[in-house]
Structure 1
Amino acid sequence: MSASNDTDKLPAKKVDPIMQEYAKRILGEDADMPDEYASLIIEARRRGRAGLPQPHLKPHRCDKHLQDFLDGIFLGEIWQPARVYFRCLGSKQGEEPERYTLQGDPDSLKR
């Protein structure tokens, strides 16, 4: 009834470059892409929605600056941490600014 084409037989990584790029972000640029990397991505999303740990994912390099900025909002220090955070976002990897040291006690924000 339906004619199968050659793309049905190819692994997903050869068919979809967008999925390949996404998998490289998750696994790292130097990692070899397994044939079933699409199932890895689906598993990572499932684990993320379930709140389970995802040891193969790395946090963004500016995450700590973002945390300082968010803590600063609740401690009344907004502009300095925001400036450092946005400088980090605009910087190249390896050229991130030093972290802002909050004047208040960020531990008081934790429950």
Structure 2
Amino acid sequence: MEQLRDLVSRARAGRLQRAEMADPTITVTNLGDLGVESVYGVIYPPQVAMVGFGRVMEQPWAENGMIGVRHAAIATLSADHRVSDGMRGARYLARIEELLQKPEEL
């Protein structure tokens, strides 16, 4: 965590070394803190995909025959189909959902 904090701090200050930077392939954006519910991104080469996260909202949720309320956020994926297909993108989003259900394991 200390190394990550250092890296983030230097990135925000614009002081990363060239070896620490590379062209992105996947961009992650979160506009939820600005109140945006969902993000539909545009991919700029050399990127091949963009994952967007909206704000966390209380949503009605049905599971095992029970209805309740839970916190949820919309995650979207914009992808270049020349690089991958929709099935792989769906699996990627499903894996993100699995990981976010147990953030202590990240």
The structure whose residues are more often helix, as a share, is 1
Q: Does the pair score TM above 0.5?
A: no
Q: What is the TM-score of this pair, normalised by structure 2?
A: 0.23
Q: Which has the larger radius of gyration?
A: 1
The structure whose residues are more often strand, as a share, is 2
Q: What is the TM-score of this pair, normalised by structure 1?
A: 0.23
